[in-house]
Amino acid sequence: MMRYETIGSFLPPVTLLSAKEALASGKMSEADYKAVEDATVREIVDRQLAAGLDTVTSGDVRRKYWDKDFYLGLEGMSVEHVDSGRVYQELESFTDLLRLTGRVAYNPEHPFFDDFSFLKDYVAGRAKCRQTIPSPADLYMEILAMTDGKPEGVYADKSVLARDIAEAYNKTILHFYELGCRDIQLDDTACAGLGDYTVEQRMMLGGTDPSEMKDELARIINDSVAGLPADMEVAIYVSAGDKIVPDWSAEFVHTNPAREILPQLQVSKFFIPFKAGDEEELCVLRSLPEGKRVTLGLISAHSPFDEPSSKVLATVKAAEKFIPADRIAISPSSGFKLTNFISKGLVFEDQWRKIATLAHLASLN
């Protein structure tokens, strides 16, 4: 039977959504809200176990953003809340903007440590506990963007910034290991972003060569996971951000900088989203280091509709031309958590139905 997994984030139940509203309006205390949040994590863990998943997460229900919450837990980062005027960049107005206040460094009091400990204590050995964190390459690109590519106000040069980020991540991951974590997932949009024509043009206009950046991003990721204990599994989820599925198509793949990053990454496993039925894009699997495991993201987590089973199974079969069948798993193409999920017609139960579909498809292969 083929393995099936999730990317880690889950839609919140109505109870948590109601509690958020009550907290925001002053009708609920922080302590009472925390109790609802804890209960939500327990519920999501129970549902993952009932769905037959052998690796579980806390569902990312405590996070406001998929990336900023982690960054803000590091030393040297702060947030500025903008609730008026216009933001003249590709960010939503009325949002929390990251600010660099000093050198990026490991924080032994990072709030994610308590979150993981809560998860591990509740799971109590019934499954493996996975911790998901944004990729260090994403933080590097974020800081370059917020400083117009010139972080010299704090850093002597970009290489020092890259080393600081890698060191902060490495120490953070080692502390997760001390807490009992044996499965870390880096959620990355920076690597695949280099294969996006718009991103590439913007970088070149800013004086950055994408072909040089690819080596820098790979180095940051590898330095972040260097020297970890042998029993710590490190996976990377490579997505194209809001678009989710990167441009892996054959007509671009041989000149795609993202393709040239993949074989350099010293990780245990790759989570890679594809469009089910688009077998041409699978040629990117040739670029993966030999012997690595791959989880194919083939079912949309952001749509209430299911992909045809025949397309999913055919895509898996086509992937076996590049990756041995015993090293392939299937998953949703992204995490389930989505801010505007209601407008997309999604409800809490949709994610569990999708996982049941994955289990069924895995049993057929």
Print pLDDT tens along the chain (365 aa): 899 999 999 999 999 999 999 999 999 999 999 999 999 999 999 999 999 999 999 999 999 999 999 999 999 999 886 554 444 444 444 467 888 999 999 999 999 999 999 999 999 999 999 999 999 999 999 998 888 878 888 898 899 999 999 999 999 999 999 999 999 999 999 998 886 666 666 666 556 676 778 899 999 999 999 999 999 999 999 999 888 998 876 455 556 777 789 999 999 999 999 999 988 889 899 989 999 999 999 999 999 998 999 999 999 999 999 999 999 999 999 999 988 887 788 999 999 999 999 999 999 97
Contact between 76 and 103 under an 8 Å Cβ cutoff? The reply is yes
Which tokens go with 336?
């389930």
Task: Report the pLDDT value the prediction gives residue 204, as an integer from 0 to 100.
Answer: 62
C-alpha 356/C-alpha 272 separation (Å) is: 20
Task: Report the pLDDT value the prediction gives residue 87, as an integer from 0 to 100.
Answer: 40
Task: Report the pLDDT value the prediction gives residue 201, as an integer from 0 to 100.
Answer: 64
Contact between 297 and 358 under an 8 Å Cβ cutoff? The reply is no
Amino acid letter at 356? A
3-state class of 324 per DSSP?
coil
Task: Report the pLDDT value the prediction gives residue 212, as an integer from 0 to 100.
Answer: 78
Alpha helices (runs of H) in the chain, residue ranges in sequence order: 14-24, 30-50, 68-72, 111-123, 136-146, 158-178, 190-193, 197-205, 210-224, 250-253, 257-261, 309-319, 348-364
Task: Report the pLDDT value the prediction gives residue 83, as an integer from 0 to 100.
Answer: 53
Contact between 107 and 101 under an 8 Å Cβ cutoff? The reply is no
C-alpha 68/C-alpha 62 separation (Å) is: 12
Contact between 139 and 104 under an 8 Å Cβ cutoff? The reply is yes
Which tokens go with 331?
């998953």
Task: Report the pLDDT value the prediction gives residue 85, as an integer from 0 to 100.
Answer: 45
